Amino acid sequence: MKNESYEEFVEKFKPKKTTDDCYTPPEVYEVIKDWVCRRYGTDPEKIIRPFWPGADYRAMEYPDYIVTTAMMQKMAKYGIEYQVEKRRSLFVRSLDAQKAMKKAIFGGGLLLSEKAAAEKAAAEKASTIVFELSEREKDLVRQLGM
């Protein structure tokens, strides 16, 4: 077993940089974004910058009437079966509420009908595993008081 210095010991607990943390500087990003918008006729208002240091682009919360590509991947990963009829959904890139903040749905999403949103919620709920507290744990909760 190697003896390590205090600095080496502390270093192990510092967050490691990921590709999300090694992001392009704002000046360079803006030049590239402007070029892409001119070259491909893209509206700059439709572009979001998904990767920021310490941030998670998937962490945005959406109403029940939205399903994003990230949500669909998560559902598929966990075996949640869900299909939506084309006539009960509409592809959208952003919500009106996001436009003021110059945000959009990463990868786009579907605006769902009330029926499709209810089916999505039911599919997610049916696959959710709820762990109940044991009697011992409930007793511990009671001992903790208010």
The pLDDT tens digits for 31-46 are 888 888 898 888 887 7
Q: What is the pLDDT of residues 73-112, one digit of tens each?
A: 888 888 888 888 999 999 999 899 888 777 888 888 999 9
What is the C-alpha separation between 53 and 24, in angstroms, rounded? 10
Distances (CA, A) of 77 to 63, 67, 71, 80, 113: 21, 15, 10, 8, 24
Encoded tokens for 101: 């903040």
As a whole number of angstroms, the distance between CA 80 and CA 121 comes to: 11
Q: How many angstroms separate the Cα of 55 from the Cα of each of 21, 59, 73, 74, 135?
A: 8, 8, 19, 19, 38
Q: In this predicted structure, which of 48-57, 68-77, 128-137 has the lowest mean pLDDT?
A: 48-57
Give the global pTM: 0.53
